[in-house]
Structure 1
Amino acid sequence: MAGAYDDRDGVIWMDGEFVDWREAKVHVLTHALHYASSVFEGERAYNGKIFKSVEHNERLFKSAEALDMPMPITLEELEAAKQETLKRSGLKDAYVRVVVWRGSGDDMGVASAANPVRVAIAVWPWGAYYGDAKMQGAKLDIAEWKRPSPETIPVHAKAAGLYMICTISKHKAEAKGCSDALFMDYRGYVAEATGANIFFVKDGEVHTPTPDCFLNGITRQTVIGMLKEKGITVIERHIMPEELADFEQCWLTGTAAEVTPVGQIGDYTFEVGDITRDIAQSYEALVRA
């Protein structure tokens, strides 16, 4: 499968039925298009099995609840629909995108309680999110924007509106020859990249920001568990940006990013060391087990 995302062969699951990929459309007055009333999940399938599928389903429902969007299907129905969509795609290794949004209806202002909540599932092949950086180490810019306070927006929802500053920041990073951008949070602490959590290594111990104003990623949680099983100390804490100079290794985690080493953030450089390589290899083995 190749080409623009609206011009491909295959089918997409929409509101309980499969439609031709090119006909999976919404109206221009869809509420989500105007007011970001949308949540989603990004998942990967390995060898025909969606990794942590149930955990992703549960997070999606929590995100929808945070945006006051009643889900029109059950957890079990969603799981069945995902599995059937993956099967119909004919793919074994694939990316799975589930999106939930307020559609067009009687409301076209900020309020949208009268509008239907819709669900779609698409599956496509997707290689390494950061390309060659998966092996060589990604280069990150430092974003101008900051992750917001939990008092300003539902920061623990995987919601479309939270990615607006991610798009802006990643565009600027790519224009500078970087793979991604690192956010600080509203207090000035190190937070995360535009679509991935971040880890650092110092003196054999792993440090990672406390996810109190951004997503506690499913891949992040998985990697922390793996590190602890290996007997490696993991310290979740607030990290100041000036501490970047003291860390020896760095990597990103996320469903799309998987485990990607980082070689540079701004003027700070990191080695792709033993702990980074080991956890990347261990994660790859886990998801394909």
Structure 2
Amino acid sequence: MAGGYDDRDGKIWMDGALTDWRAANVHILTHAMHYASSVFEGERAYGGKIFKSREHSERLRYSAQCLDFEVPYTVEELEAAKQEVLAANGLSDGYVRAVAWRGAGEDMGVASRRNPVCVAIAAWEWGAYYGDAKMKGAKLDIAKWKRPSPETAPSHAKAAGLYMICTMSKHEAEAKGCSDAMMFDYRGYIAEATGANIFFVKDGEVHTPKPDCFLNGLTRQTVIGLLEDRQVKVNERHIMPEELESFEQCWLTGTAAEVTPVGQIGDYSFEVGALAREMVTSYEALVRA
């Protein structure tokens, strides 16, 4: 599949039915376009099976509730739709994007209770999110933008509006020759990358930021489970920026990123070490089991 994401062959499931890819459009006065009333999920299929598919569908509905709307499809209906999309596009391995949003309707101000909630699911081929970083380690910038306080935004929802500062941070990072950017939170603690959670290794133990103001990713939770199965101690805690100098290894986790080692964050360097490599291979084996 090639070309812009608006100009491809294939099918997208939209509000209960498959539609031609190029016809899957919305009106310019769609509420989500103006007020960010949108939530989404990023998922990967391996060998025809979407990893943690049901958990993603459940989280989509939860995120919508955090934004004060309901997804008008049950988890079972979303699950069936995702499989329908994979089959319609002839995909066994692929990336699946489910999105729910407030559409165009009678309201066109901040309030939008009279507008319909729309849902779409698309799928496409997508390789390694960070290119060859799994071999040599990704290079990260340090973002100037910070993850907001839970008192200012629904930080535990996978909401489109929360990614605005991520886009700006990633653009700035790419302009510097980096793959991504690491973000601090509103208190100055290390938080995450723009679309992935972060882990560090020191003296045989793993340290990862406490997800109290950013998304506790499903891949993050999976990798913590893999580490605990190996009896590796995992410390979920607040991590200060000055601790970067003492960490030996680092990696990112996310549905798109999977498990990707990090070789550099700003002026700090990390080894693509044995534990990071083991997490890459263990995660790959798990999702294809």
Report the equivalent of 2:77.
77
Report the equivalent of 1:285.
285
Report the equivalent of 1:27.
27
Report the equivalent of 2:106.
106
Report the equivalent of 1:119.
119
User: How far apart are the structure 2 equivalents of 1:244 and 1:201?
Assistant: 10
How does 1:156-171 map onto structure 2 within 5 Å? 156-171=156-171
SS of 1:99 mapped into structure 2: strand
Report the equivalent of 1:8.
8
Deviations 1:215-238, CA, capped at 9 Å, x for gaps: 000000000000000111100000
Structure 1 residue 201 corresponds to structure 2 residue 195: no
User: How far apart are the structure 1 equivalents of 2:82 and 2:91?
Assistant: 13
Cα offset for 1:74? Answer: 0.9
Report the equivalent of 2:192.
192
Report the equivalent of 1:139.
139
User: How far apart are the structure 2 equivalents of 1:107 and 1:113?
Assistant: 7
SS of 1:104 mapped into structure 2: coil
Cα offset for 1:40? Answer: 0.1
CA RMSD of aligned residues (A): 0.5
SS of 1:55 mapped into structure 2: helix
Amino acid at match of 1:276: A
Seq. identity, % = 77
Cα offset for 1:9? Answer: 0.3
Amino acid at match of 1:283: Y
User: How far apart are the structure 2 equivalents of 1:135 and 1:257?
Assistant: 13
SS of 1:262 mapped into structure 2: strand
Amino acid at match of 1:280: V
User: How far apart are the structure 2 equivalents of 1:70 and 1:255?
Assistant: 24
Amino acid at match of 1:48: G
How does 1:53-72 map onto structure 2 within 5 Å? 53-72=53-72
Cα offset for 1:70? Answer: 1.4
User: How far apart are the structure 1 equivalents of 2:135 and 2:175?
Assistant: 21
TM-score after normalising by structure 2: 0.99
Report the equivalent of 1:44.
44
Report the equivalent of 1:262.
262
User: How far apart are the structure 2 equivalents of 1:212 and 1:228?
Assistant: 21
Cα offset for 1:252? Answer: 0.1
User: How far apart are the structure 1 equivalents of 2:174 and 2:224?
Assistant: 29
SS of 2:224 mapped into structure 1: helix
- Bigger mean CA deviation after superposition, 193-202 or 79-88: 79-88
User: How far apart are the structure 2 equivalents of 1:4 and 1:281?
Assistant: 32
Cα offset for 1:134? Answer: 2.1
Deviations 1:175-216, CA, capped at 9 Å, x for gaps: 000000000000000000000000000000000000000000
Cα offset for 1:135? Answer: 1.6
Amino acid at match of 1:158: K
Runs of at least 4 residues off by over 2 Å: none
Deviations 1:25-50, CA, capped at 9 Å, x for gaps: 00000000000000000000000000
Amino acid at match of 1:152: T
Cα offset for 1:249? Answer: 0.1
TM-score after normalising by structure 1: 0.99
User: How far apart are the structure 1 equivalents of 2:49 and 2:146?
Assistant: 36
Report the equivalent of 1:87.
87
Amino acid at match of 1:109: G
Deviations 1:1-26, CA, capped at 9 Å, x for gaps: 01100000001000001110000000
User: How far apart are the structure 2 equivalents of 1:222 and 1:133?
Assistant: 21
Amino acid at match of 2:121: I
Length, aligned pairs only: 289
Structure 2 residue runs of 5 or longer lacking an equivalent are: none
Cα offset for 1:276? Answer: 0.3
Structure 1 residue runs of 5 or longer lacking an equivalent are: none
Deviations 1:100-126, CA, capped at 9 Å, x for gaps: 000000000000000000000000000
How does 1:148-187 map onto structure 2 within 5 Å? 148-187=148-187
User: How far apart are the structure 1 equivalents of 2:174 and 2:190?
Assistant: 20
User: How far apart are the structure 2 equivalents of 1:285 and 1:89?
Assistant: 25
User: How far apart are the structure 1 equivalents of 2:132 and 2:280?
Assistant: 14
Amino acid at match of 1:49: K
How does 1:217-256 map onto structure 2 within 5 Å? 217-256=217-256
SS of 1:95 mapped into structure 2: strand
